[in-house]
Chain A
């Protein structure tokens, strides 16, 4: 898909895309009976805007040289990326049933060696942005005008290599990098600001030489504006979009759960979750 679907007639709306991403994620969660479902629901709008508004790619040729690169630094968000790769036609829908099972191409942590459309093996947190720096330099060597998107979590702001990479991208004026930070404020051991305070975020990135925007990551029109601004910027700077998202967004009874980092969902609740999601679906 080279053209952006939002410009195509009869294309599903970004809201509908985000709904389908969430729906795919819930179905995969049901296969495993567990997973990082709250993160997937939270980041679905960011992914929908990425894949159906901003990114250039070919569904039938995930390694197409002319694609924008999309790095998933947060390996455990794989369930979210698979959901959007399925919606984008890069992974067949029927593979959804294999999620996290033996010999599946969709392991629970994202790895480039397993999955079409997965650019890197994330998971050891904080490595995506550094790889993005090398790709950004490499694309410039090739005189390519493509972008490198790096999706990272707020937890990865704890990692030192994130800031080595942030400083380097500023130093090299890598205006072909767009970093997306999913700020859902929840880490394995509890709320992020209690684990290690990372605020003030825009000021930090700006001090490292970046153009920074902060948006409601569940507000699709706001995300579209932020992506457009990041891509259109003429300043020779790397760009970051800090996306404040809500864990488990779209399924109210899961949004209310406290221990949302690794959500326990009872067997009977998966159907309820999909029903709750459907109830909020915008037609």
Chain B
């Protein structure tokens, strides 16, 4: 046996040990005639339910408005202006818009350079790319020096059916580890519109999750305004306290209404700023009465708002009778249509209502 053959034998042995995952999708079977097979929505999917009020491009419009009085604000993106609503700003102020190409690492570094020169860059890409690919560049280029860069990202959590490459289910877990970074997870169009000037007024780096396109409008029906670093009680209820962020606040408000039929009274505390966390408001609400406490978020169970709240409660010795999380599993999620996936992973209003009833 010559050397080449011995090598080949060993190679086969190695190959036979190589793990090969089973194919993930199901083969087509008999279709339920009452249930149409939904198609995957692309990046333009709206979270709005049928007939729900929406507002177009709240991020882009708010940034254009702010740009009128803040000439130092510039927009920068990595080939995703259209899909982050930054194109609205680009159209209004073409000379203040920087198309940096599909180079996210450079995007963050160039934003750092702009901030060094006194400008306030609003930087956009998708949440998966900002968190996974550019962490070091935000950390060492921007945050360590406290530079004034606002990283605003579309497709946070499970807001696309494209599959794990685009589903940023762990972006908050990743970014919570970065010192001095403010993290914002707004609920709806009103929240986004008010958060834009608020994060611009804050001196330091910010990561904000975005919804783009036709964004649901919900919070205008509540006595609410966005304040950076503040949690707000949107409705009170004696049986259940839901602490939520992002669009899961919208879902929690829907759940509260659904459960009224069962005479279950649900309070909703909206926490749009994940870091720094409004610990005082959370401790006050949880400590006020003994209620089932649920944290609802568009994020993995690992390292997001749920664990941030749990840590806060335990450290303070304020322990609710029961604590539950409505959140995405710690897993690479399926591809498919968003409504299907939200049902499957328990973050649609109906699925969440079922969970809450089961916990009562």
Within 8 A of A (CB), among B77-133: 98, 100-101, 103, 105-106, 108-119, 121
Judging by beta carbons under 8 Å apart, are B110 and A142 in contact? no
Q: What is the chain A residue whose CB lies nearest that of B105?
A: A161
By CB atoms of chain A within 10 A, which of B100, B115, B116 has the most?
B116
User: Contact check: which of B105, B115, B117 meets A130 at CB < 8 Å?
Assistant: B105
In the assembled complex, how far is the CB of residue A120 from the closest CB belonging to chain B, in whole angstroms?
7
Decide if B229 is an interface residue (CB 8 Å cutoff): no
User: Contact check: which of B109, B115, B146 meets A161 at CB < 8 Å?
Assistant: B109
Also in contact, A119 and B141, with CB within 8 A (given A124-B136, A130-B109, A168-B101)? no
Judging by beta carbons under 8 Å apart, are A168 and B110 in contact? yes
Q: What is the chain A residue whose CB lies nearest that of B140?
A: A124
Judging by beta carbons under 8 Å apart, are A119 and B140 in contact? no
What secondary structure prevails in chain B residues at the interface with A? helix
Tell which of A25-33, A82-90, A131-139, A220-228 binds the partner: A131-139
Judging by beta carbons under 8 Å apart, are B141 and A130 in contact? yes
Judging by beta carbons under 8 Å apart, are A134 and B110 in contact? yes
Decide if B145 is an interface residue (CB 8 Å cutoff): yes
Digit string of A159-198 for contact with B (CB within 8 Å is 1, else 0)?
A: 0110011011001000000000000000000000000000
Digit string of A120-147 for contact with B (CB within 8 Å is 1, else 0)?
A: 1101100101111111111101100000
Q: What is the chain B residue whose CB lies nearest that of A142?
A: B117
User: Contact check: which of A69, A137, A139, A164 meets B103 at CB < 8 Å?
Assistant: A164
Query: Which of chain B's residues have a CB closer than 8 A to the CB of A111?
Result: 144
Number of A-B contacts (CB under 8 A): 95
Q: What is the chain B residue whose CB lies nearest that of A128?
A: B109
Interface residues on A, range: 20 to 34
Query: Which of chain B's residues have a CB closer than 8 A to the CB of A69?
Result: 116
Decide if A233 is an interface residue (CB 8 Å cutoff): no
Within 8 A of B (CB), among A83-133: 111-113, 119-121, 123-124, 127, 129-133
Also in contact, A138 and B118, with CB within 8 A (given A131-B110, A133-B106)? yes
Judging by beta carbons under 8 Å apart, are A137 and B140 in contact? no
Judging by beta carbons under 8 Å apart, are A161 and B106 in contact? yes
Judging by beta carbons under 8 Å apart, are B117 and A138 in contact? yes
How many angstroms from the CA of A120 to the CA of B108 in the assembled complex?
A: 14
Query: Which of chain B's residues have a CB closer than 8 A to the CB of A171?
Result: 101
Query: Which of chain A's residues have a CB closer than 8 A to the CB of B121?
Result: 134
Q: What is the chain B residue whose CB lies nearest that of A122?
A: B140
Judging by beta carbons under 8 Å apart, are B109 and A138 in contact? no
Q: What is the chain A residue whose CB lies nearest that of B113?
A: A134
Query: Which of chain A's residues have a CB closer than 8 A to the CB of B119?
Result: 138, 141
Judging by beta carbons under 8 Å apart, are B145 and A133 in contact? no
Judging by beta carbons under 8 Å apart, are B105 and A139 in contact? no
Decide if B162 is an interface residue (CB 8 Å cutoff): no
Judging by beta carbons under 8 Å apart, are B114 and A167 in contact? no
Judging by beta carbons under 8 Å apart, are B144 and A121 in contact? yes
Within 8 A of A (CB), among B196-217: none
Query: Which of chain A's residues have a CB closer than 8 A to the CB of B100?
Result: 168
Task: Name the 10 nearest CB pairs between A and B, nearest first.
Answer: A134-B113, A130-B109, A138-B117, A134-B110, A164-B106, A135-B113, A164-B103, A161-B105, A131-B113, A124-B140
- A sample of 20 inter-chain contacts (CB < 8 A) reads A120-B112, A120-B116, A121-B140, A129-B109, A130-B105, A130-B137, A130-B141, A133-B106, A134-B112, A134-B115, A134-B116, A135-B114, A135-B116, A136-B113, A138-B119, A139-B117, A161-B106, A164-B105, A168-B100, A168-B106
> A113-B146, A133-B106 provided; 6 other pairs, C-beta below 8 A?
A113-B145, A127-B141, A130-B105, A130-B112, A131-B112, A167-B101
